[in-house]
Structure 1
Amino acid sequence: MELLFLGTGSGVPAKHRNVSSMMLKLLDERNALWLFDCGEATQQQILKTTIKPRKIEKIFITHMHGDHIFGLPGLLSSRAFQGGESAITIYGPKGIKQYVTMSLKLSQSHIRYGIRFVEIENEGIIFEDNQFLVTTKRLQHGIPSFGYRIVEKDREGELMADKLQAIGVPFGPMFGKLKKGETIVLEDGQEINGENFVGPKQKGRIVTILGDTKFSLKSIELAENADVLVHESTFIHSDMELAHSYNHSTNLEAVAVAQKAKASKLLLTHISARYLYADSKLMEKEAQTLFPNTFVMSDFTEVSIPLKRDEE
């Protein structure tokens, strides 16, 4: 599981930052990609990576401001020419279906795959299967803006195949029984209890991705015990008054959310175009004085989210 930041700026594209978009790469987990927001020129950013748009399974839109959605019709249209045949689900605020369908209709774009829309009207669970649970809450912004909490369900421990082969267990159906914790009997009468050869459970990871927001208690709820919290940091804390006038957060307000939620890592994004590289490093350093595991993201930064085990 990795997070790849395709655009880390706010408002308008800049030379050093494109507008908002990030990809949650679940290639090992489900051979799929989940896209969060799709600002202008997201597909151009994708061309500079190894990402294959046909693997995009879900798109989550946090809110309807242009810097988060203007790239969506183009990406969907191009995906049809890039081998994308599998259906896609788009989650987002009310209006996202009308925006996408009208854009495609008026441009006479022909999509060969199905698009399912889930317009968020209530907080709570919006997706669940045997691997993942996704919940959402409404944040504090000028228009409806949502945050997403992605919870990976715990995995069963791995079978210690090397140890089994070392004591003479032949590879085959017996391995399947042992994986289930059953007891088998070898030809020499030796009994093998599968529970003794299955490693500890792999704890599921938690990733929280927030839309644009002022400091919000719901942000804390979404980020509780998250392995990674992605929080907007449009402004540095000395510009707090400006941040609040635009319904945005500062770097230190993002830190407060991470601290209260007991998150493990804080990734700051949605940086105002007024800040150049030196300013963003100052923003990062200021945040790290209070929450050391804080990092300001740049376009094309990729962050790995490793598995945890029970003993960790």
Structure 2
Amino acid sequence: MEIQFLGTSSGTPTRSRNMTAIALRTRGAKHWSLVDCAEGTQHRLLRTSMSPMSLRAIFITHLHGDHCYGLPGLLASAGMLNRTAPMAIVGPAPLRGMMECIMEATQLTLPYPIDWVAIEDLAHTDILPDLRVHATRLSHRIDCWAYSFTEAAVERKLDIGKLKAGAIPAGPAWGEIQQGRNVVLADGRVVVAEQFLLPPRRSRKVIIAGDNDSPELLAREANGADLLVHEATYTEAVLHKVGPGPQHSSAAMVARMAQEAALPNLILTHFSPRYQDREGALTLNDIEREAREHYTGTLFLARDLARYELGKDGSLHALQ
């Protein structure tokens, strides 16, 4: 599973960081998904290998502008590229009305259908062929959600020793068995595939959260997850100065929850523009330092266009 950050700033962009948008895809898949779509997202896409033509679904966490103002432009550009395949859009209830109002006011027509999916219908809708999606309500100034993506199916490996012991000849039959299909051998024996497959590995699970001032709301969902992507808008000191009004998390708050939930991997994002990349009174090093004081797992601070891969063994590493 691969994650690429198209924007990592909160509220407003900086010279080096756009606002929130995160791309997600599984290795080998011809499609990809997008979580949030800030203004400028489609421009960031031009610097990646992904195209609006293969975008399967968009998941909006909440309707603050730094998470959704790029949606009309991205949909329009997909139409101008002559896209015809349907696109699924998931988000809070007012999203559809907002988008339809914009489309009517600007006379935007699309050559492809949009499948609007209500969050409450996620459990009963197969939006992605390779991932199951679940939403968890968060705490923010407006209705806001986190999306969990869990592998829908896991490949199985052959039990070679058992195949040899059963005198099942190597060849096309082994390929059929690995695909889970029963086969009939030349001598008439019926081979039940399940009996010759090793136990599957655990399905990988990634949680991508919207804005949230209560990371503990994800504690239950994080049980057994491999990766959490969560905002860390401030350090504790700045959060105390700003006050609770914006309803954002500090790096320490998220790190403590991740540690208590035994999450093996954590990526922080959505940083206040007051934090400079390298030099200044406040830098991203302050956020990283605070998080590492409370979290001992694998930690990354997301950068725009940075790519990360979650391996089949649950390990997370940055891609070049």
TM-score range, shorter chain: 0.7 to 0.9
User: Given residue 285 of structure 1, which amino acid in structure 2 is its aligned partner?
Assistant: R
> What is residue 19 of structure 2 aligned with on the other side?
19
Distance (whole Å) between structure 2 residues aligned to residue 178 and residue 287 of structure 1: 43
Distance (whole Å) between structure 2 residues aligned to residue 168 and residue 212 of structure 1: 55
CA contact (8 A) 2:176 2:183 kept: no
Superposed, 1:69-218 pairs within 5 Å as: 69-120=68-119, 122=120, 125=123, 127-128=125-126, 131-159=130-158, 169=169, 171-173=171-173, 175-177=175-177, 179-180=179-180, 185=185, 198-218=197-217
Cα 1:191/1:99, change in 2 over 3 Å: closer
Q: Secondary structure at the match of 2:110?
A: coil
| Cα RMSD, aligned residues only | 2.9
Distance (whole Å) between structure 2 residues aligned to residue 119 and residue 170 of structure 1: 48
Cα offset for 1:259?
1.8
Cα offset for 1:222?
2.6
User: Given residue 311 of structure 2, which amino acid in structure 1 is its aligned partner?
Assistant: P
Would you say how many aligned residue pairs link Structure 1 and Structure 2? Answer: 305
Cα offset for 1:148?
1.1
- Measured against aligned partners, the alpha-carbon deviations of 1:5-42 in whole angstroms (never above 9, x if no partner) come to 000000011111100000012352x4211100000000
Q: Secondary structure at the match of 2:136?
A: strand
Cα offset for 1:295?
1.4
Q: Secondary structure at the match of 1:244?
A: coil
> What is residue 280 of structure 1 aligned with on the other side?
284
> What is residue 301 of structure 1 aligned with on the other side?
306
CA contact (8 A) 1:20 1:38 kept: yes
User: Given residue 17 of structure 1, which amino acid in structure 2 is its aligned partner?
Assistant: R
CA contact (8 A) 1:154 1:201 kept: no
User: Given residue 125 of structure 1, which amino acid in structure 2 is its aligned partner?
Assistant: A
Q: Secondary structure at the match of 1:307?
A: coil
> What is residue 4 of structure 2 aligned with on the other side?
4
Distance (whole Å) between structure 2 residues aligned to residue 84 and residue 273 of structure 1: 35
User: Given residue 287 of structure 2, which amino acid in structure 1 is its aligned partner?
Assistant: M
Q: Secondary structure at the match of 2:123?
A: strand
> What is residue 53 of structure 1 aligned with on the other side?
52
Distance (whole Å) between structure 2 residues aligned to residue 207 and residue 31 of structure 1: 19
Q: Secondary structure at the match of 1:14?
A: coil
Cα 1:184/1:57, change in 2 over 3 Å: same
- Measured against aligned partners, the alpha-carbon deviations of 1:35-86 in whole angstroms (never above 9, x if no partner) come to 0000000000000111111111110000000111110000000011224221
Distance (whole Å) between structure 2 residues aligned to residue 27 and residue 243 of structure 1: 42
User: Given residue 147 of structure 2, which amino acid in structure 1 is its aligned partner?
Assistant: Y
Q: Secondary structure at the match of 1:97?
A: helix
CA contact (8 A) 1:95 1:119 kept: no
Distance (whole Å) between structure 1 residues aligned to residue 85 and residue 27 of structure 2: 16
Normalising by structure 1, report the TM-score.
0.87
Distance (whole Å) between structure 2 residues aligned to residue 245 and residue 99 of structure 1: 25
Cα 1:200/1:238, change in 2 over 3 Å: same
Cα 1:65/1:191, change in 2 over 3 Å: closer
Distance (whole Å) between structure 2 residues aligned to residue 138 and residue 196 of structure 1: 41
Cα 1:185/1:217, change in 2 over 3 Å: same
Cα offset for 1:149?
1.4
Residue ranges of structure 1 left out of the alignment (5+ in a row): none
Which has the higher mean CA deviation after the structures are superposed, 279-288 or 172-181? Answer: 172-181
User: Given residue 267 of structure 1, which amino acid in structure 2 is its aligned partner?
Assistant: I
> What is residue 293 of structure 2 aligned with on the other side?
289
Cα offset for 1:282?
2.4
> What is residue 256 of structure 2 aligned with on the other side?
256
User: Given residue 307 of structure 1, which amino acid in structure 2 is its aligned partner?
Assistant: K
Cα 1:270/1:156, change in 2 over 3 Å: same
Q: Secondary structure at the match of 1:263?
A: coil
> What is residue 317 of structure 2 aligned with on the other side?
none
Distance (whole Å) between structure 2 residues aligned to residue 178 and residue 47 of structure 1: 39
CA contact (8 A) 1:158 1:198 kept: yes
Which has the higher mean CA deviation after the structures are superposed, 53-62 or 208-217? Answer: 208-217
Distance (whole Å) between structure 2 residues aligned to residue 179 and residue 113 of structure 1: 34
Cα offset for 1:307?
1.3
User: Given residue 308 of structure 1, which amino acid in structure 2 is its aligned partner?
Assistant: D
Cα offset for 1:185?
4.9
Distance (whole Å) between structure 1 residues aligned to residue 178 and residue 274 of structure 2: 59
Distance (whole Å) between structure 2 residues aligned to residue 17 and residue 126 of structure 1: 36
- Measured against aligned partners, the alpha-carbon deviations of 1:144-166 in whole angstroms (never above 9, x if no partner) come to 111111121352413478x979x
Distance (whole Å) between structure 1 residues aligned to residue 250 and residue 104 of structure 2: 39
